[in-house]
Amino acid sequence: MLDNEKLLVEQARQNPAAFAALYDHYVDRIFAYTARLMQDEAAAQDVTAVTFEKALKQIRRYEWQDHGFGPWLYRIARNEALSKLRRQKWLSPKSWFGSTELRATETAVQTRQTRQTIHRALARLRPKDRDIIVLRYLEELPSEEVAEILACSPDNVYVRLHRALARLRAELESDLPAPVREVNPHVS
């Protein structure tokens, strides 16, 4: 959260040009979040643009919360992304982690394989499960902000996150070769 965020919001209510400081602070974070949800850079750009357009149009109705302006933007972005995903019926997964070149070391290859495995498992989750995991672990937002974004209690965030992680674990286990699953059926 910006130090003077509350003041910037008040200024943006009076003068739309003042919204630029809020936009500059949050645009990269909102884009990264929507790119992870959408798994498509062009769709993420569209969702990010719509998010800020709606935020600017609705800034006069925004009521300041202790968590700041960010959770409100994330909630708008989340709603737009989920709406777009429903319209698209979740066509095809794209890379969430970018296209890094393969390094010659074994560690780099293993890291890439791990990311691809996680990517495939996340892509198979329901958007709501993927969303809460992205918000909490990839966006690294505190549970209280996630609760604000999802319009639920922090206790509900913990329950939903626990269930989403269990589903992710099941998806990851389904990617393991059969002998590994047989030897250790409780791989974490």
Whether residue 43 has pLDDT greater than 50? yes
Structure tokens at 102: 């393969």
Q: Decide: 152 and 160 in contact? Cβ < 8 Å.
A: yes
Q: What is the pLDDT of residue 93?
A: 45
Mean pLDDT across 90-118: 54
Backbone φ and ψ for 132, nearest 5 degrees, come out as -70, -35
Q: Please, what is the Cα angle at 116 between 140 and 128, to 5 degrees?
A: 50
pLDDT digits (tens, 9 = 90+) for 107-139: 555 666 777 788 888 889 999 999 999 999 888
pLDDT (mean) for 7-15: 89
Task: Calculate mean pLDDT across residues 141-154.
Answer: 92
Average pLDDT over residues 55-83: 89
Report the phi/psi class of residue 90: left, alpha or beta, with left for phi > 0 and alpha for psi in -120 to 50: left
Q: What is the pLDDT of residue 97?
A: 44
Domains and CATH numbers, the chain: 1-90 (1.10.1740.10), 105-177 (1.10.10.10)
pTM (predicted TM-score): 0.61
